Structures are given as structure tokens and as C-alpha cells.
Amino acid sequence: MSIAKLRELRQKENKELELDLSALRKELFDLRFQSSTEKLGNPSRIGLIRREIARIRTILRERELAAPAERTGE
């Protein structure tokens, strides 16, 4: 999975974002495991994955907060 741009992430549906999020969390787990066994080839990848997870979680949270406002007409 490549690091997506913010615009591309915002165009995705919530279900797609949740699938991406679970895949990134699994990849982060694998990278941490490799790091602990000292077999990690690219240590900076951990930071990239963490930021990508944060971006997706931020978008999901924004949508979650916007949903009640749309229902009440605010």
C-alpha cells in the first residue's frame, strides 16, 4: 500500500478508509516486530505509516462530527 495524498483519502468512502486503516495497522505491527528483531530495512517507514493512520483517523473523526450537524440542519 502506498502513502495516499490527503485529497485521495477524502474522496474515499468510510468503509474504504476503515479497510485501509486496518491494513496500515497490520503493516505497522509487522514493522514494529521487524524492528524488535533488528530485521527492519527502512526504519522511516514506521513514521510514514503512523502519519497515514493519523490522517485516516482524522478524516473519519471529522465525518463523525459532521454527521449529527447535517441531521439537525446546522
Cα separation, 3 vs 27, in Å, equals: 12
Considering the entire predicted model, what is its pTM?
0.84
Residue in 20, 25, 23 with CA at minimum distance from that of residue 9? 20
Residue owning grid cell 473519519: 60
pLDDT tens, residue by residue, 6-63:
889 999 999 999 999 999 999 999 999 999 988 888 889 999 999 999 999 999 999 9
- DSSP code at position 41: S
Hey, what CATH class is 6-72 in?
Answer: mainly alpha
Q: Residue ranges per domain, the chain?
A: 6-72
User: How confident is the model at residue 1, as a pLDDT?
Assistant: 45
